[in-house]
Structure 1
Amino acid sequence: MRITIKILKGQDVTLDVEPHTLISDMKKEIESKLNIPLPEQKLLLLGRTLKDENTVSAYPNLHEGCKLNLVVMRPRIEGLREILQKSFRKYYNEPQADNLVIAFMTDFETNLKQMSVDDIERLSESLLGV
């Protein structure tokens, strides 16, 4: 069966898979076609992460012509929390900065959980001016 892998702000790739194909084997094929290292790949089906040790048949919604989203998780240089800490500490004392970071991250995570992958893609495109 043919499955399309959709990459945020990238090209689509089509894979030929069988019901017994492991998700990890799909990721290896993606690595060879797109040069995206395995540890940086996260495959999503309907917003849920596919587990490497499972086969295609473990996911009933994964069928011929299905589209999976590939999230590329680049190695973290510096996370949002660390950037916020540095920024807030310029203007506030440490306990105040910590409280602001906690409040910001809680609000950010709540809002992010309410967004679909398509919402995130549209937001990314608008922020990048694409």
Structure 2
Amino acid sequence: MKILVKCLQGGSTLLDVSESSTVSELKKLVQKNMRIPVFQQTLILFGKCLQDEKCISDYPQIKDGTKLYVAIKNPDFFNTTLHKFLRKYYHEAQCKVIVEEFMKNFHSKVNSLSLDDLERIAKSEIESAASGL
């Protein structure tokens, strides 16, 4: 089946995949065609993040011609900033453990959000910033 993958920052690619392909395999094709590293990809279908270990067949909404979106994430920036902040209060080894646990929890929570949830958060932040001006 053919799946269109569009990048939220621009660009797209048409991929030929089977229902038995995993999301992880799909991400490798996106990396090859769009030059977006797998670790920076989040594939999105109807506002929900696809899980790497699942097969395409685990998502009955994915059919021939389905459009997926790929969001590009930059996890190092947040990790680095958090680590620098924590170094003021903790030893290096403690910082590493805290950041790893925080990021694991953070990713779990973010992956459970829909695009509608993210849009509401963004609008709330924009309105809050505008009222503070």
Change (3 A) 1:26 1:114: closer
What does residue 128 of structure 1 align with?
none
Letter in 1 for 2:119: M
| Contact in 1 for aligned 2:12/2:34 (Cα 8 Å) | no
For normalisation by structure 2, the TM-score amounts to 0.59
SS in 2 for 1:51: coil
Q: Distance in 2 between matches of 1:115 and 1:39?
A: 23
For normalisation by structure 1, the TM-score amounts to 0.60
Q: Which has more radius of gyration?
A: 1
- 4+ aligned runs moved over 2 Å, structure 1: 75-79
Structure number with higher helix proportion: 2
What does residue 4 of structure 2 align with?
4
The alpha carbon displacement at 1:75 in A equals: 3.4
Structure 1 unaligned blocks of 5 or more: 86-111, 124-130
Q: How many residues align?
A: 91
Letter in 1 for 2:75: P
Identity of aligned residues (%): 30
Per-residue CA deviations over 1:17-57 (Å, capped at 9, x if unaligned) read 11101110010011111221111000000011111111110
| Contact in 1 for aligned 2:2/2:64 (Cα 8 Å) | yes
